[in-house]
Structure formats: structure tokens, C-alpha cells
Amino acid sequence: MPELPEVETVRRGLEPVMTGQIIERAEVNRDGLRWPFPPRMAERLTGARVVQLRRRSKYILADLSTGETALIHLGMSGRMLISGVMQGSFHHDHPAPQKHDHVVLHMAGGARVTFNDARRFGAMDLLATETAESHPLLAVLGPEPLGNQFDEAYLKARLKGKASPIKSALLDQHLVAGLGNIYVCEVLFRAGISPKRQAGQISAARVAAMVPIIRQVLAEAIEAGGSSLRDYRQADGELGYFQHVFQVYDREGQPCLTPGCSASISRIVQSGRSSFYCPQCQR
């Protein structure tokens, strides 16, 4: 499932095509994805101007001139694809309609934004902008890891006395929004902390040191366009590149990249997720 860097990369790709532009026609080709689409979604989107595009955790939020906000979640395989405009040095012509093109937004000026989702685990909804943050999917989320509310004092307070493994704690969207399996593995490696370590037993100094590491890993991943492992593509159809610099994720049995370390990367399963780590460098 796309994590924060992938969703932020998609949002940035959509921004020049959608922000300030009118949706001339919305085409909705099925009743819903993970859950049903809201009533008259095509009608409610048609004619609306996109005021701004923002991200909350792994959700893209398009605030509209109608006072509603379109909430988009990519799910496991969802893609937001742009065609009909210049993107960098390339012009992507409109492709022929595909089987899994579930929502198509025809923008003023000729651009087309297509929500394609082969596995149909994605979602789209329309919320009142004024109360969007109280939506059940958003209200329970913790602070953004790149935002001002996520700092050393906050993380130390939330982890204090916590009995769960640090890997599970950082994946808890109530604690911090948007972190997923890939980037938590990479963060813990850089921090030298075992994913098995009980969160509440990590020293305050080591917890504080994780905050800038989390920010740095996410910033690097966003700069690289995210990580493409299976279905993820950027909005222009290009792959992300952060997977080429993974230090532990998906490297089971391969040598640790820390100079002087003779260990190999190990994998364990925690709460149904694979955790990759160096048993020598991470304690």
C-alpha cells in the first residue's frame, strides 16, 4: 500500500494540473470501490473548481469551490494518472479507456485525471470541507511526521510506558500519521534500534533522535518519488526510485551495508508485517 511519500508524490504531481482548475466533467464508471461512492458524485464534482490539494496521512484531499472536499485513498493498487498535458519534457496523450478506470475527471484546458484501481481497495468520498477533519477516517489520526506537532516531546510522551514493540508503535496511525512498513524499517535501522525493542524501554535520548531521522527518511523518499515495489506509479506514470537505496527493507539474507558489520539482514513477522533489520547494528 502506498505510504506517505508515495501519496505526497502523487499529490505534488496532481497539483499543477488540478489546483485552480475546473472539473468540466466527472465520469464515474461504477458504484464504488472499497465502499460505495456518495450519491450523485459525478454531478457534484462536475463544474467544481479545485481550490487546493492537500494530504492528510495517506489520503489526498481536494477542497472544492462547492464547499465539499473530495477524499481519495489509493488503496493497494490505485493510481491517479494524468494525460493530455505537458509533464516535464513529455506530453502524455489520452490513452484508450481501461477496464479499471473507475473515476475520470476531465479538467478545463484538456487535462484528464484518471483514478485507476485494479484491485478496487481504493476509495473516494465527498465531505463537507468545513467539517472534513472530523470525518471518522481523519479524526483518529495522529500528527503528521513532517508537521510541527510531531516533535521530540510528543514522541517521548506517547512512547513512555508503552509495552508494544517500537515497530508496532510507529505503525500505529493514532500515534503518528502516514508511516508505513517500509519507512519504519528504514528509520529503525538508521536509529540503530531493533524492531523488537519494547517502545517504553527505549531511552528518552534515543526516542528524541528518531524524530529527525523519521523526517529525513521521508524527505529523501519524497525527493526520490517514493518507492515502486508492485503497483505504485507517480501521477505521470513514472516509477519511484527510493527502493534502490533501501538499507534493510526487502533485503533478507543480504549483507548489512554498515561499514565493518559482518551480519546479514534478518526478517521477522510482527503483527502480520515483515520487519527487516540488522541484528548486529540494531539493539
pLDDT value for 89: 45
Are residues 131 and 170 located together in one domain of the fold? Answer: no
Q: Do the Cβ atoms of 64 and 49 come closer than 8 Å?
A: yes
How far apart, in whole angstroms, are the C-alpha atoms of residue 187 and residue 127?
Answer: 34
The answer to whether residue 44 is catalytic is: no
Cα–Cα distance between 89 and 54 in angstroms, integer? 25
In a domain, residue 103? The reply is yes
Tens digit of pLDDT for each residue in 174-223?
Answer: 999 999 999 999 999 999 999 999 999 999 999 999 999 999 999 988 88
Task: Kindly state whether residue 101 falls inside one of the protein's structural domains.
Answer: yes
**Nearest to residue 238, comparing CAs of 4, 3, 6, 1?**
6
Looking at the domain assignment, is residue 282 inside a domain? no
- 191 with 218, same domain: the answer is yes
Same domain, 124 and 205: no
Residue 1 has pLDDT above 60, yes or no: yes
Query: Is 75 within a domain?
Result: yes
Single out the residue in 114, 139, 164 at which a domain terminates.
139
Domain contains 145: no
**Same structural domain, 12 and 65:** yes
Residues 211 and 96 in one domain: no
User: 75, 105, 139: which is the final residue of a domain?
Assistant: 139
Which CATH number fits the domain that encloses residue 168?
A: 1.10.8.50
Residue 231: per-residue pLDDT: 47
Query: 11, 58, 79, 112: which is the annotated catalytic residue?
Result: 58
Q: At what angle do helices 152-159 and 204-223 cross, to 10 degrees?
A: 120
Same domain, 122 and 156: no
Q: Which is the catalytic residue, given 12, 54, 273, 279? A: 273
When divided into structural domains, the chain yields a total of 2
Split at pLDDT 50, 70, 90, the class of 237 is: low
Render pLDDT for 68-79 as a digit per residue (tens, 0 to 9): 999 999 998 888
**146 domain-assigned:** no
pLDDT of residue 232: 43
- Co-location of 183 and 130 in the same domain: no
CA 163-216-16 angle, to 5 degrees, is 120
Place of cell 462536475: 46
Q: Catalytic: 195?
A: no
pTM above 0.85, yes or no: yes
| Any domain includes 54 | yes
Do 162 and 131 share a structural domain? Answer: no
pLDDT at 240 over 50: no
Q: Which of 2, 5, 143, 165 is catalytic?
A: 2
34 counts as catalytic: no
Domain co-membership, 159 together with 242: yes
**Is 144 contained in some domain?**
no
Provide the CATH number for the domain around residue 27.
3.20.190.10
Same domain, 27 and 58: yes
Same domain, 10 and 84: yes
Which range marks the domain in which residue 26 is found?
Answer: 4-139
Last residue of a domain, one of 106, 139, 172: 139
Is-catalytic flag, 251?
no
Mind spelling out the 3-state secondary structure of 169-203?
Answer: HHHCCCCCCCCCHHHHHHHHHHHCCCCCCEHHHCC
159 and 92 assigned to the same domain: no
110-125 per-position pLDDT tens digit:
999 999 999 999 999 9
* Whether pLDDT at 3 is above 90: no
